[in-house]
Amino acid sequence: MILPRSFYARDTITVARELLGKEIVHRGDAGVTSGIIVETEAYPGGEDLASHSAAGITDRTRVIFGAPGHAYVYLCYGMYWCLNFVVEREGAPGCVLIRALEPLKGMEIMRRRRPRAKSDRELANGPGKLTMALGITRRENGVDLTRGSLTVHTHGGEVPFDIAVTPRIGITKCADLPLRFVRM
DNA sequence: CCGCGGATCTTCT
DNA sequence: GAAGATCCGCGGA
């Protein structure tokens, strides 16, 4: 089942936690690839200076202030694409960074896109790696996650799991907030 | 396994 | 003009 827009139209931390265990599916030119979300980070906006939306509405951040259930894709360090999901109600900023996937469908396609991966678990165990594995680039910025080529689904047969909570990785502002969530 | 530095370019100051 | 939500290869333990 595709997650409905109401799933995303909630507070950032709740959505970041509940995205763990869900399946991201991308239908690209090479075929279908997918993976289970195992690591996320919350970027709630507002007082959080680490959130891109702290800069206000700009060409880059406009999508973060828009309707929930859309993708926010940006270029990191000039070389890597990072995938976020827009959350909170329309007009309120908030997004969730997808930091790692457990590869599921289209493993052959992902291996071709990630020639440097020495094992299957290295295919998508990082924010830049998972966009490479799924073939996600600027083209996907702003797309609707409830229809189209990039969607998020429930994943049946999921057994309960623990969630580890830690500070977010690789930031300098608001670096101590416990906003990173990892499926154990 | 761990730490270090280079690559590379968009965005905001 | 500088920083930045990263990755990879290298060298050492």
Structure-block tokens of residue A68? 């929930």
Question: With a 7 Å cutoff on the CB, does A128 touch strand C?
Answer: yes
Predicted pLDDT at A96: 98
Query: For residue A158, what pLDDT is reported?
Result: 72
How far in angstroms lies nucleotide B4's C1' from the CA of residue A114? Answer: 24
Write down the pTM of the prediction: 0.97
**What would the two tokens of residue A163 be?**
């969630």
What is the predicted pLDDT for the residue at A155?
A: 93
Q: Is the dihedral of CA A75, A168, A91, A147 positive or negative?
A: positive
Give the CA-to-C1' distance from A59 to C7 in angstroms.
Answer: 27
Look at residue A159 in the predicted model and tell me its pLDDT.
82
**Residue A156: per-residue pLDDT:** 80
Residues of chain A falling short of pLDDT 50: none
Q: Which residues sit close to strand B, CB under 7 Å?
A: A 55, 58-61, 74-75, 77-79
Assess contact for A133 and A107: CB atoms under 8 A: no
- Phi then psi for residue A75, to 5 deg, are -90, 125
Taken as a whole, chain A contains a residue count of: 184
